Amino acid sequence: MREVAALAGVSLKTVSRVVNREPGVSSELVRKVERAATQLDFRPNLTAANLRRAGQRTATIGLVLEDVSNPFFAAILRGVEEVAVQRGVAVFAASLDEDQNQEQQIIEELLSRRVDGLILAPTALEQGYLANEMRSGLALAFVDRAPRGVDGDVIVTDNRGATENAVRHLIGMGHHRIAFIGGVAALPTAEDRYDGYLDAMMAAQVKVPADYVVRDVRTVQQAERIVTALMQSANPPTAIFTAQNLISMGAVRALRSLGVERSVAQIGYDDFELADVLNPGVTVVAQDPRRIGRLAAEALFARIADAGRATATTVVPSELIKRGSGEIPPPRER
Amino acid sequence: MREVAALAGVSLKTVSRVVNREPGVSSELVRKVERAATQLDFRPNLTAANLRRAGQRTATIGLVLEDVSNPFFAAILRGVEEVAVQRGVAVFAASLDEDQNQEQQIIEELLSRRVDGLILAPTALEQGYLANEMRSGLALAFVDRAPRGVDGDVIVTDNRGATENAVRHLIGMGHHRIAFIGGVAALPTAEDRYDGYLDAMMAAQVKVPADYVVRDVRTVQQAERIVTALMQSANPPTAIFTAQNLISMGAVRALRSLGVERSVAQIGYDDFELADVLNPGVTVVAQDPRRIGRLAAEALFARIADAGRATATTVVPSELIKRGSGEIPPPRER
DNA sequence: TTGAAAGCGCTAACAC
DNA sequence: GTGTTAGCGCTTTCAA
């Protein structure tokens, strides 16, 4: 910028005014400065500008997720990007991998870069370590799962209600032997879905054998093994509720390789690509993750603009999409 | 940081030394400073530090893709993150959407933030506008597609060869009537795959009717319509090569809803989730996008470290995975 | 309408 | 070992 000023024969401040389109510069100088800037390939350094600028905003936000390559999270990122780009805000994306403990460390990294706000899909058990930051003005929004130990805007689906509804649908088809295969049990999402399952089962006064509930499943392969074992057990279920997209895919594999996909009912939480093309199509509880991302970003920007506003929890409805697998009746009792 | 210095009763520079773990500070002062830092919830401002630090590095890179929510690109992002996080580098993720013209604008945004480097899956026709930046030291790497009008490290798969190989496989099964459904024709990837198709067809002296080639297909829905129409035409193909993952999924839908998935052969470029669970499984040319992301990030960091090194093109092999759909023979000639 | 001086939070270079 | 001074690239404040 100094060079531009020298070449244009004006002061630093005048260049700054032109670059930022501040009013009150004669059009002649504007032209001169612009010419010099082009000639020197000048590009303002946002980083330096923000250092001095009011509020110290960096026009960046961070998005911390479990794994961007999971389509569910990828769609959230997409939604966040969509609203961020409109505001000229850049998005740092970070995946946490298996290592839950990374959460805090990665967040520190982003805070060192002075992001204006953070959108977080919490994986650690507790987010109390963020309380300090929030007090000192960090804007925060949570997606998919409510945080623990700290307050903030939350965008979630109605995990419990939607699951209850789906399991009730299975019960309505005549099923009593309904298994539940869930994800990392420590996550609120997983817990809520499990509670929804129990709600439906208890409301219908259906007993839940201990071996019909498997939790803490993390991968497609693990889900496949578990469902395979379950179906080969002495008293296999007639229907399965799979509480997460990777688990659903694992179950799909298992049922198909056992050749029982037409006789065992399945409903999954989260939609996945090609679920409707399979035969039978897989009935799912579908969320709208891109919308969740958009809403989270909007909540975050609202909070950045007004740190004092009350926190809110937004529940995005999810929809039971019936494609066949959830509508398979149980075999006749003998 | 000034406050920490004041509270600890030392100079600014000593605090800086402690924070950056520079040697040569008495352990007593280290303790004092650390206590003061904790007490004040001090977190160093990386942004300010980098402004002054040698080389003006920001320890951030940008990744500009067509659409993160496409699993192929999401996996690339994941690979990039993986190597970036090891180096304490944060990754800006940006999707371009349909709007190709955004490419330049989004890149400008990132350059204003002084990213140390950029990984780009080019969508614009030409990247000549980057030549200036490169000359002034911007590190650049390209994934999936080679750039035009500018030189740089490129990580791609052997689109042409792998496609030729796949089409040859279909020909080897006895097919002559092989359709090619391709993506945005302006992209080098799409062109290379088309050329590979032509290579194989010409080598086998097989004629290619004009209506067997459809290019510029952008969405799953569009692919589905096109394949449906093609199969209902007077002279339908006996095999289809689908040159991109979204197109493959569209074709899968079309063939299945026509009920011809067991009689029409299909090979797709890019693997996709559940391709192996379908019946028949979908034969694909599988890339390893996560590896592509890792390699691109490594190339980028190498270039950041040494701007003078020669640019290289890395061709990541891709693999023909035979799952059944590509091994369907043509119906007997009458 | 334009510019000079101070300073954002930090580190480089050099003193002590 | 520790501190001082200057300055990264820009904006703010205030004076001209």
Q: Is the pLDDT of residue B204 over 60?
A: yes
Q: Are residues B228 and B280 in the same domain?
A: yes
Task: Give Cβ neighbours of residue B150 (< 8 Å, ≥ 6 apart).
Answer: B127, B128, B130, B131, B134, B140
Mutation choice for B interface testing from A3, A82, A112 by most B CBs within 10 A: A112
Q: What percent of chain B has pLDDT over 90?
A: 80
d(CA B3, CA B9): 10
Question: CA–C1' span, A54 to C8, in Å?
Answer: 10
Residue whose C-alpha is closest to residue A244's, from A61, A95, A109, A121: A121
Q: How far is CA B47 from the centre of its chain?
A: 28
pLDDT for position B21: 92
Residue whose C-alpha is closest to residue A271's, from A250, A253, A244: A244
pLDDT for position B333: 63
> Are the C-beta atoms of B80 and B296 separated by less than 8 Å?
yes
Q: Are residues B75 and B29 in the same domain?
A: no
Q: Is the pLDDT of residue B48 over 80?
A: yes
H or E segment to which residue A61 belongs:
strand A60-65
d(CA B206, CA B192): 19
Looking at per-residue confidence, does B123 or A258 come out higher?
A258
Please tell me which residue lies nearest to nucleotide D7, judged from CA to C1': B52
Q: Please compute, for residue B166, the number of CA atoms within 13 A of its CA located in the half-sphere on the CB side.
A: 38
Q: How far is CA B29 from the centre of its chain?
A: 48
Specify if B333 maps to a domain. no
Specify if B327 maps to a domain. no
Measured from the Cβ of residue B2, the count of other Cβ atoms closer than 10 Å reads: 8
H or E segment to which residue B268 belongs:
strand B265-269
Q: Residues B99-127: what's their mean pLDDT? A: 88
Residue whose C-alpha is closest to residue B136's, from A41, A17, A205, A38: A41
φ, ψ of residue A193 in degrees (nearest 5)? -65, -40
Specify if A165 maps to a domain. yes
Structure tokens at A229: 């074992």
The boundaries of the domain holding residue A197 are 159-286
Task: Report, in ranges, which bases of strand D sit under 7 Å from a protein C-beta.
Answer: 1-5, 7-13
CA distance B249 to chain A (A): 8
Least confident of A168-172, B61-65, B144-148: B144-148
Specify if B233 maps to a domain. yes
Q: Strand D-proximal residues, CB under 7 Å? A: A 1-2, 12-13, 16, 19-20, 44-45, 48-49, 51-54; B 10-14, 17, 24-26, 28-29, 48, 51-52, 56
Interface A–B counts its CB contacts (< 8 A) at 140
d(CA B334, CA B330): 12
Question: CA–C1' span, A310 to D13, in Å?
Answer: 35
CA distances (Å), origin A223, targets A210, A242, A323, B184: 17, 9, 21, 37
What are the pLDDT tens digits along chain A (334 aa)?
899 999 999 999 999 999 999 998 999 999 999 999 999 989 999 999 988 886 678 999 999 999 999 999 999 999 999 999 999 999 999 999 766 678 888 999 999 999 999 999 988 778 888 888 888 788 999 999 888 888 889 999 999 999 999 999 999 999 999 999 999 998 889 999 999 999 999 999 999 999 999 999 999 999 999 999 999 999 999 999 999 999 999 999 999 999 999 999 999 999 998 899 898 999 999 999 999 999 999 999 999 999 889 999 999 999 999 999 999 999 986 5
Question: How many independent structural domains does chain B possess?
Answer: 3
H or E segment to which residue A321 belongs:
strand A319-321
Nearest by CB to residue A93, choosing from B77, B113, B279, is B77
Q: Are residues A82 and A98 in the same domain?
A: yes
Measured from the Cβ of residue B35, the count of other Cβ atoms closer than 10 Å reads: 13
Q: Would the pTM count as exceeding 0.75?
A: yes
Q: Are residues A149 and A211 in the same domain?
A: no
| pLDDT tens digits for range B75-108 | 999 999 999 999 999 999 999 976 667 888 899 9
Q: Are residues A121 and A26 in the same domain?
A: no
Mutation choice for B interface testing from A1, A40, A51, A69 by most B CBs within 10 A: A69
d(CA A186, CA A175): 28
| pLDDT tens digits for range B244-269 | 999 999 999 999 999 999 999 999 99
Least confident of A165-169, B99-103, B184-188, B299-303: B99-103
> Are the C-beta atoms of B148 and B189 separated by less than 8 Å?
no
Specify if B321 maps to a domain. no
Q: Are residues B59 and B121 in the same domain?
A: yes
φ, ψ of residue B53 in degrees (nearest 5)? -65, 155
Structure tokens at B119: 């990984």
For chain A, how many helices (H) and strands (E)?
A: 12, 12
Return the CATH number at B99.
Answer: 3.40.50.2300
Q: Are residues B208 and B234 in the same domain?
A: yes
Q: Are residues A150 and A296 in the same domain?
A: yes
Q: Are residues B269 and B190 in the same domain?
A: yes
Chain B CA closest to residue A135: B41
Q: A113 and B47 in contact by Cβ < 8 A?
A: yes
Q: Are residues A92 and A130 in the same domain?
A: yes
pLDDT for position B54: 66
Q: Are residues A121 and A200 in the same domain?
A: no
Specify if B202 maps to a domain. yes
Nearest by CB to residue B113, choosing from A47, A272, A274, is A47
Structure tokens at A306: 């007004």
Least confident of A77-81, B51-55, B170-174, B296-300: B51-55
Q: Are residues A227 and A255 in the same domain?
A: yes
Beta-sheet pairing, B319-321 with B283-286: antiparallel
Specify if A334 maps to a domain. no
